[in-house]
Amino acid sequence: MVNDLPDQYTKENNPVDNCDYNITVLTTNNAWAARASSAITLPVGILRRVQIDFPNGCNNRININIYHGATQIIPIDTGGGAGTSYHSFNNYLLDFNTFRVITPTTTAFTINGWNDGGANLNWSHVISVTFYVERVTVP
C-alpha cells in the first residue's frame, strides 16, 4: 500500500471528484453474513474525505463499514474480525477527513450494510456515502 505522496505532488488547485453512492439495507440484511454489499471503483488520486449519511429512522440499527480491497478502512478495523467494527447512527451525517492513496491497481472499494437483526425493523434504509478524491497522478 502506498501511504505517502508522490514525489511530483503539488497541493495547488488539484480537482476533487465527489463520488456519490447509495447502499440499500433491506430488512433481510439482518447480520454480517447476510449483508448488502456495493462494490465500487474510485478514481486514482488521494481519498481526502468521506461522508456517510444515516437518515432519520435508522435508530442506530443500521451498520455500515467500508473496505479498500481486503482491508477495512472505515471504521479502522481493530482486529475483532469481519463485521465487528462499524458505524451506526440516526439522522446524522458522519463527516471526516482521511488520507488514502488510490493507485491504478487499488481502485476497488466495498460499502457494506446490515441491520442489527432485532425486532420491529419493518422497512429498508438507503444510506448515502460520498467519497472526495483529490485527482493527482499516483505511480
Task: Give the model confidence (pLDDT) of 50-93 as tens digits.
Answer: 999 999 999 999 999 999 999 999 998 767 777 789 999 999 99
Give the torsion through C-alpha atoms of 9, 102, 52, 41, to 10 deg: 130
Task: Please state the domain extents for the chain.
Answer: 16-128
The pLDDT of 43-50, averaged and rounded, is 95
Tens-digit pLDDT profile for residues 99-133: 999 999 999 999 999 999 888 888 999 999 999 99
Residue 18 and residue 22: Cα distance in Å, rounded? 13
pTM: 0.90
Provide the CA 42 distance to its chain's centre, in angstroms: 11
Q: CATH topology for 16-128? A: Jelly Rolls (2.60.120)
Average pLDDT over residues 5-34: 86
With pLDDT > 90 as the criterion, what percentage of the chain qualifies? 73
